[in-house]
Amino acid sequence: MSDPFVELHEIRRQWDGKGGVRGVSLSVPRGAFVSILGPSGCGKSTLLRLLAGLEVPQSGQILIGGQDVTHAAPSARGLSMVFQSYALFPHLSVRENILFGMKVRRASRAAQAEKLAEAVAMTGLEGLEDRKPGALSGGQRQRVALARAVVAGHPLCLMDEPLSNLDAKLRHSVRRDIKALQRRLGLTVVYVTHDQSEAMSLSDHVVLMKDGAVQQQGHPEDLYTRPATPFVAEFIGDPPMALVEGAALGQAAAQIGIRVEKIERAHVDDADLVAHVEACEFLGGETRVLLSHPRARGLGLILTGRRELAPGTALGLALPDEHRVLFPAPGGQKDPQQNYGATDRQTAPRDGRKAPSQQTEEVSR
């Protein structure tokens, strides 16, 4: 991972000043696996389509392999794409679907046969070459779309929620296939998803978007341990970070985030917070206790083994200083109290918060 292979500079594409993406910058090293993550409608697909050349930015610049391709045709950008809906040609067999691009580019028959065999073996589609997409399962269709993208031999591959139509089990196995394929071929992949666990497990670099702008980007671990905003804190991780009103802990920050697994049980007398049990979820190896507190949300406690606590039981919690993440009040004058009770994942933006990286104030690491 060295020179930036794909670069976006302040890309903007909106419809009547709404939707789309506004001012997104991004730099992807060669051979990286980058995930674009965010809730529905935040502009992930728009960003990918801008990269592919299916949409033209209103301002900004796109570079691929050092060349300015901002206004280049999709086919001139040397990339392949896996569509959310797969976009397989329904009247063509698997073989013809995979070879469509090579036929368009008039590759020799021998080269076609060789590439086809390779792609079919790689994606485990042997024996299905003569089927039409209509006679394939969702997972098989997905693999055909993947094979079609791979056979082009382009170094850059864009994927728009390729797994969203698959069931949970298949999703896990295809996810591993994609990762293995990417490694083997040394592909640079830009991968759109709204599933944070998918993004976290697959990628070297995660770009978390909200309302058309980047909230935070970086290594999955950065986003997990050092979220830049409460939005990031609540989007990343399962369970997401717990958020506590700063005043409740006697600190100046508007909100304080902490990973649930870092919260410890303490005696009620010297606890940081006293919360009440709402429910217990037994997950096999551990029990996740959901807690409620009037000035916090997402509070929880993880206990080993199977534990049964009656709802309403008061529990003392210790929030270790070194694991606290402080978020200053947005804009400075708003009462953070109003945020509580509603979850940030659904709410509209309360301000024009953009550059996220300076927003984090870490107590310690």
Partner 1 sequence: MTDAFRIAKRRRAIHGWLLLSPALVMLSTFAFYPSVATLWASFFSRETRRHPSEFIGLDNYRFLFEDPTFWKVAGNNLLYAGVTIPISIALALVMALWANSKIPGKSFLRTAYFTPTVLPMIAAGNLWLFFYTPDIGVLDQLFGLVGLGSMNWLGRPETSLWAICIVTIWKESGFFMIFYLAALQTIPPELKEAADIEGASRWTYTRRIVLPLLMPTTLFILVNALINSVKLIDHLFILTKGGPSDSSKLILYYIWELSFAFFDSPMAAATTVLVLAVLGIVAALQFGLLDRRTHYQ
Q: Which of 295, 198, 300 is nearest to 239 (CA)?
A: 300
Site for ligand ATP in 313-342 (CB under 6 A): none
Which residue's CB is nearer to partner 1, number 83 or number 340? 83
Does residue 134 belong to the site contacting partner 1 (CB under 8 A)?
yes
Phi, psi of 115 (to 5 degrees): -65, -40
- Choices 1-9, 89-97, 172-180, 331-339 (CB under 8 A): range interacting with partner 1: 89-97
Does residue 197 belong to the site contacting partner 1 (CB under 8 A)?
no
Contact residue for Mg ion among 5, 22, 43, 45 (CB under 5 A): 45
* Terminal Cα-to-Cα distance of the chain (whole angstroms): 26
Contact residue for partner 1 among 91, 334, 345, 350 (CB under 8 A): 91
CA distance 162 to 142: 7
Q: Which of 228, 230, 184, 186 is nearest to 207 (CA)?
A: 228
Phi, psi of 113 (to 5 degrees): -60, -40
Does residue 310 belong to the site contacting partner 1 (CB under 8 A)?
no
Write the DSSP string, 112-156. HHHHHHHHHHHTT-TT-TT--GGGS-HHHHHHHHHHHHHHT--SE
- Choices 42-50, 75-83, 92-100, 128-136 (CB under 5 A): range interacting with Mg ion: 42-50
For the bound state, the minimum distance from the C-beta of residue 164 to ligand ATP, rounded and expressed in Å, comes to 8
Size of the site for partner 1 (CB under 8 A): 22
- Beta carbons of 241 and 345 less than 8 angstroms apart: no
Residue 223 partner contact from ligand ATP, Mg ion, partner 1, none using kind-dependent CB cut-offs of 5 to 8 Å: none
> Residue with structure tokens 């991972």?
1
Under the rule (CB under 8 A), what is the footprint of partner 1?
Answer: 52-54, 73-75, 79-81, 83, 85, 87, 89-91, 100-101, 104-105, 132, 134, 152
* Site of interaction with ligand ATP (CB under 6 A): 15, 19-20, 38, 40-46, 194
